[in-house]
Amino acid sequence: MSSPSIRVRLLAFGPLGSMVPRGGVWREVAPGASVADLLAALCGEGLIDQAVLRCAAIAVNQQYSRSSLQLKDGDEVAILPPVSGGCDKTSGASGSPSEVSLVRAPIDGAAIVGAIKAGADGALCVFDGIVRDNSRGRRTLYLDYEAYEEMALRQLHLLRAKAIQDFGVREAAIVHRLGRIQVGETSVFIAVASAHRAAAFDACRWIIDTLKKTVPIWKREQFADGAAWADGEPFPDDLAGNAP
């Protein structure tokens, strides 16, 4: 008698979002099947191309995973195209959010700075990512951001903790907006407080550069003559390349 199949929930985002219904779809796989087995099945059905998978990353239960991982019943498997990002829960209000937040209202940079400054700081470095009115020679009207929200928050928390540990800064705040953002508005705001300016500069730059490559946030650009998903930053070598 054959063993019963197991069920996994398949998600896809950004430019790959159309391959499954919004909110994901449940798939049956054989007991002992790996991520690679699932991807091979998807390729065989024509749902995704192997060339696309070579640039994608896979997350299982909201953590980056290798294709050799054996799947378990109830696992959540997400296929992530290169990302374009970026409180412990998503907030709909502006004001003074926690050190790590995803928000859908305009970001209040002054409130974030005021919330993390302290008497021990000799420097506070800020990165304010602003929607510009053009991209690649086309006039931009607005941007739409979407995220794999639970995983994005997890990754942002990891970035904050690693920046504090590796650069010796006292505090860091990372706030990324989702939804529709108009030209001139802030899409991502990072503030780093430290006793010394060099550490604050280095940590702030490392956070935004790493966020752009590892946090599952994507943007769709609405131009005057059409719309397109923004080309994402390539994943680091240890995360990309899941083609079976």
**Total number of domains constituting the chain:** 2
Q: 239 in a domain, yes or no?
A: no
CA-to-CA distance for 216 and 156, rounded, in angstroms? 10
Q: Do residue 220 and residue 111 come from a single domain? A: yes
Which pLDDT value is given to residue 235?
83
Q: Do residue 75 and residue 175 come from a single domain? A: no
CA-to-CA distance for 214 and 159, rounded, in angstroms? 10
CB 176 within 8 A of CB 157: no
Q: List the CATH number of the domain containing 51.
A: 3.10.20.30
Q: Do residue 59 and residue 163 come from a single domain? A: no
For the sheet with 6-12, list strands across it.
25-29, 6-12, 76-80, 57-60, 63-65
CA-to-CA distance for 53 and 35, rounded, in angstroms? 12
Q: 242 in a domain, yes or no?
A: no
Q: 64 in a domain, yes or no?
A: yes
Q: 28 in a domain, yes or no?
A: yes
pLDDT per position in the chain (244 positions), as tens? Answer: 456 889 999 999 999 999 999 889 999 999 999 999 999 999 999 998 888 888 899 999 999 999 999 999 999 999 999 886 533 334 433 333 468 999 999 999 999 999 999 999 999 999 999 999 998 889 999 999 999 999 999 999 999 999 999 999 999 999 999 999 999 999 999 999 999 999 999 999 999 999 999 999 999 999 999 999 988 777 887 777 665 5
Q: Do residue 112 and residue 224 come from a single domain? A: yes
Which pLDDT value is given to residue 52?
86
Q: 209 in a domain, yes or no?
A: yes
Q: List the CATH number of the domain containing 173.
A: 3.90.1170.40
Q: 86 in a domain, yes or no?
A: no
Q: Collapsing DSSP states into helix, strand and coil, what is residue 25?
A: strand
Element (H or E) spanning 165, and its range?
helix 149-167
In the chain, the amino acid numbered 148 is: Y
In the chain, the amino acid numbered 33 is: A
Q: How far from 166 is each of 76, 105, 158, 203, CA to CA, in Å?
A: 31, 31, 12, 8
Which residues are CB-neighbours of 242 under 8 A, at least 6 positions away?
Answer: 35, 36, 39, 53, 54, 56, 57, 58, 66, 67
Q: Which domain holds residue 18?
A: 6-80
C-alpha of 23 from chain center: 17
Which pLDDT value is given to residue 171?
96
Q: 71 in a domain, yes or no?
A: yes
Q: Do residue 175 and residue 104 come from a single domain? A: yes
Q: Do residue 70 and residue 143 come from a single domain? A: no
∠ Cα 178 154 82 (to 5°)? 60
Closest-CA residue to 129 (of 176, 171, 162): 176
Q: 138 in a domain, yes or no?
A: yes
CB 60 within 8 A of CB 37: no
